Each structure stands twice: as C-alpha cells, then as structure tokens.
C-alpha cells in the first residue's frame, strides 16, 4: 500500500509537468503570434514610408524637369520683354507672346525686379557697384536683367547695379 501513494504523487507530478509544458507551449504560440504581428506592422510601416518617399521624389523630379524647361525659355521671354519695351510687339506676335507669358505664369514662373530693396546675394547678381552717402545699407539701384523664380526656387538671379554706403 505504500506504493500507491507514491504512484499518485508521481501521477500528480506528471500532471503538473504536463500542465507546465502546455502553458509554456501556449506562451510560445502567443509569442510567435506577437512576433509575426510585430513583423507585419513593421513591414506595413516600411511600405507606407516607401510610398511616401517615392511620391515625394516623383513630385521633386517633376518640379526639376519643369524648372529646366522654363529656364530654357528665359532668353525668349527676355526678347519678348525687350520687343514690348520698344513697341515692336504687335498683331499676331503680341498674341503669341501673351499666350507664352500666360503659360509660363500658369506653370509657376514669376519675374522679380525690384529697385531700392536690400541686396540679397541669393537672388541678386551684382554687375555694377557704386557708393553713396544717401544709403545706409547695400541697395539695388538698377535692374539690368530681371530674375526669375519657379515656385520658391531661383532659376536665374536678377542682374543688378548696387550702391553701398560710404565708409
């Protein structure tokens, strides 16, 4: 009879061992599900970031291409502007010039050529220089050739004459 209680104890310990193994296996299965879920979320986030990066690169490439085409048109726009200043732009040529200016404006090209503003080397190219006691900072006093920008990107700086204050 003394053997029976030992057998019961052995069966109980086997049952406890079996329960512990089952619990450990269920934890391992839960951990596998958690790991796979984590991997899936990481891959989804990487794909979302990839799509955003590709879309941003596509927009940038489109803007660069448009800026290149518009920069090639700048000499034509300069010729149109000079012809208009001398009243040589009439008839059908004026209509074509107006359409060309409207199209370039629609694409985001804008001209800048202000006088009596502070000289900014980022948007101005100084071709002539003088000094004067009448100014307190370096000013643009004459625009020799207007500058152009596409959206916020400077395509061509304005070529200007500047006046510095006397020392």
Domain boundary among 63, 91, 119: 91
Position 92 pLDDT exceeds 50? yes
Angle in degrees, CA 5, 11, 12, rounded to 5: 90
**Beta strands across the sheet bearing 109-112:** 109-112, 147-150, 153-156
Q: How confident is the model at residue 34 (pLDDT cuts 50, 70, 90)?
A: confident
In the predicted model, what is the mean pLDDT of residues 78-93? 90
Report if residue 98 sits inside a domain: no
Domain boundary among 24, 57, 91: 91
Q: Which domain holds residue 16?
A: 1-91
pLDDT at 3: 45
Report yes or no: 86 and 94 within 8 Å, Cβ to Cβ: no
Total domains in the fold of the chain: 2
In the predicted model, what is the mean pLDDT of residues 120-135? 92
Position 2 pLDDT exceeds 70? no
Give the chain's mean pLDDT: 87
Query: pLDDT, tens digit, for every residue of 94-109?
Result: 999 999 999 999 999 9
Position 156 pLDDT exceeds 60? yes
pLDDT at 29: 65
pLDDT at 163: 93
- With 0-12 CB in 10 A as exposed, 13-18 as middle and 19+ as buried, what is 66? middle
Report if residue 100 sits inside a domain: no
Q: How confident is the model at residue 33 (pLDDT cuts 50, 70, 90)?
A: confident
Report if residue 159 sits inside a domain: yes
């Amino acid at each position: 009879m003394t053997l029976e209680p030992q057998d019961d104890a052995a069966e109980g310990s086997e049952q406890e061992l079996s329960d512990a193994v089952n619990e450990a296996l269920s934890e391992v299965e839960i951990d596998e599900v958690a790991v796979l879920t984590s991997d899936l979320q990481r891959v989804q986030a990487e794909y979302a970031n990839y799509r955003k990066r590709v879309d941003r690169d596509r927009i940038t490439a489109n803007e660069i291409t448009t800026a290149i085409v518009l920069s090639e048109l700048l000499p034509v726009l300069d010729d149109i502007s000079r012809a208009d200043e001398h009243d040589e732009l009439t008839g059908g040529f004026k209509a074509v010039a107006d359409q060309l200016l409207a199209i370039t404006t629609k694409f985001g090209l804008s001209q800048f050529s202000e006088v009596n503003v502070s000289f900014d080397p980022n948007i101005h190219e100084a071709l002539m220089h003088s000094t004067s006691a009448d100014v307190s900072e370096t000013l643009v006093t004459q625009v020799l050739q207007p500058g152009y920008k596409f959206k916020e990107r400077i395509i061509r700086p304005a070529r200007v004459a500047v006046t510095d204050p006397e020392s």
